[in-house]
A = this chain, B = another copy of it.
Amino acid sequence: MEVFEAMKERRSCRNFSTEPVGDETIEKILEAAGWAPSPLNMQPWGFIVVTAQDVKEKIFSEADRCRKWALEKSGWKWLGGYGLDFLKSAPAIIAITGDPKKTGVDMFMEEGGVGYQHACAAAIQNMHLAAHALGLGSLWFTFFDKKAIREILGIDPEKTPIGLVCLGKAGGDPTPAPRKDVKKKTIYIR
């Protein structure tokens, strides 16, 4: 698939068919992640591929707990009807973890130490583009408490959970999300 087409046509998918995703496809998506740039090429990412149903159910329960908590805290009514069943039905969920020690020179800067997270986010974007090019839907999901997700997935205490990528064949056509004109978000210094 052509790169601009992949970027433009990728959608956040919240409705998956239960058809399993093959190991070879998962490996291609992870390889794409690994091509992302990172500070000092430290490749700070790690991946946990979850296909076990009981673990997906635990992720669902944690996300649903967060949803209720955020609804109370924010008063955002849409959260009341925001269904999270895709966490149970997505055939695969890949957790991306980052290593804060692999953050590059910004480890010495006062406000720094986030370079490893940015690199992991770039890797996640590659995963979405790869998934779309391979005919899969994907969703970048971050609605969890870090401590809870560490326990569910047994994440090394020295690593930071960055996000979850839900993967599978789309159960329907995901709705396109409109984009603002980037020209209105751009300043030129000539």
Q: Which residues on A are within 8 Å of B, measured CB to CB?
A: 1-8, 10, 12, 27-28, 30-37, 39, 41, 43, 45-52, 55, 66, 69-70, 73-74, 76, 79, 104-106, 108-109, 111, 114-115, 117-122, 124-126, 128-130, 133, 140, 142-143, 145-146, 153, 162-163, 177-180, 182-183, 185-190
Contacts and interface: CB of A to CB of B under 8 A. Distances in A.
A146 B182 contact: no
B111 A34 contact: no
Contacts of A190: 51-52
A187 B48 contact: yes
A189 B130 contact: no
A64 B84 CA distance: 48
Contacts of A183: 27, 30
Contacts of A106: 142-143
